[in-house]
Amino acid sequence: MIPLSRLQQLARRHGTPLFVIDHDALRKAYREFRRHLPRVQVYYAVKANSDPMIVRTLFEEGASFDVASMPEFQVVYQNIRHLPAKERQQWIWDKIIYANPTKPTDTLEELNKYKPLVTFDNREEIHKIRKHAPDAGLALRLKVPNTGAMVELSSKFGAAPGEAVDLILEADRAGLTVEGISFHVGSQTTNFDNYVQALNLTANIFQEARDRGYTKMNLLDIGGGFPARYDSTVRPFRELAKVINTEIDRLFPKDIQVLAEPGRFLAAPCGISVAEVTGKAVRDGKTCYYINDGVYHTYSGVIFDHCKYPVKAFKKGPTSICSVFGPTCDALDVVSMAENLPDLERGDLVYSVNIGAYSHASATYFNGFPPAKVVHENR
């Protein structure tokens, strides 16, 4: 982690609120993922944090990318514009998956020239892709258990296993090529059995498709959900990787292409917020601190992502349970109702770590307060 003295120095130089991106932490997370899942190609889920410099660092590390909108596609595309057109085309085919199962028609029309890999999970999408992006390759998004995930996705996305092969065959009849199957076990999944069940369901779909005459699939996309280690209750990634490796080796042939879409796992540890105490009050006997960052800004994950980011002080001393509120004139703007903090004064600084994913990425200008300034370290 960046030394606390350096964070304070950055706050003095740039002011607060501040969102510091540590590129060494980003590289470390990427390399850990690759080390423990060597068969799996990393497609970074850009939605976790679409900062162009994060994309650039991962691009330099050899990552591929999962995008879910044309603006995200363009953030990635900026890194390869210098390549000759033929090399750009090949890079996009190998390195980008458009993993939003439902796409606007104008997006499909814009994507078609790149012949991308896209996901789908219903009949309507098949007909839409056939008409507006017939040159795309397809991956069927399968509905799988999301038990215990911090953010459940299976109610919004995924074809039921019982209809999966019917959809694959319908896409084939429409003149499209289904390259393989994708799934997502839910965001911040600490229940490793979700992956076991999903991989077994997927292997069954592969077998059923072969039994019914479809033999063109050679791609397995195990999605995202890989948990960031926010605290010691999250088991080490190597333990999850061992489970995944065992099931992939048991269920799938050696030549199958395996990819994954980690977002939070890569982005969370690279983000640090630094904020300033702007107000202080005692309410019902409990000290309340008001800081110049909140849930409409860097701490947006408290609301949208069901996540907690402990607020820590640079100052030392005896602590007590306090509340921490954001700067807006909205009662929803509560960072925490129970933080152990020392006695702070206006102007003192606080910080939160592991706040790089689904935080600054969804910050707003609500109530006229701008998002935190972004600073890059170890780039």
Catalogue the active-site residues. 329
The CA distance from 13 to 177, in Å, is 54
DSSP element (H, E) containing 278: strand 271-283
Burial class (CB in 10 A: 0-12, 13-18, 19+), 178: buried
Taken as a whole, the chain contains a residue count of 379
Structural contact between residues 144 and 185, judged by C-beta atoms closer than 8 angstroms: yes
Q: What share of the chain is helix, strand, coil (3-state, %, to 5)?
A: 35, 25, 40
Structural contact between residues 309 and 269, judged by C-beta atoms closer than 8 angstroms: no
The CA distance from 71 to 37, in Å, is 29
- In a 13 Å sphere around the CA of 328, the CA atoms on its Cβ side amount to 23
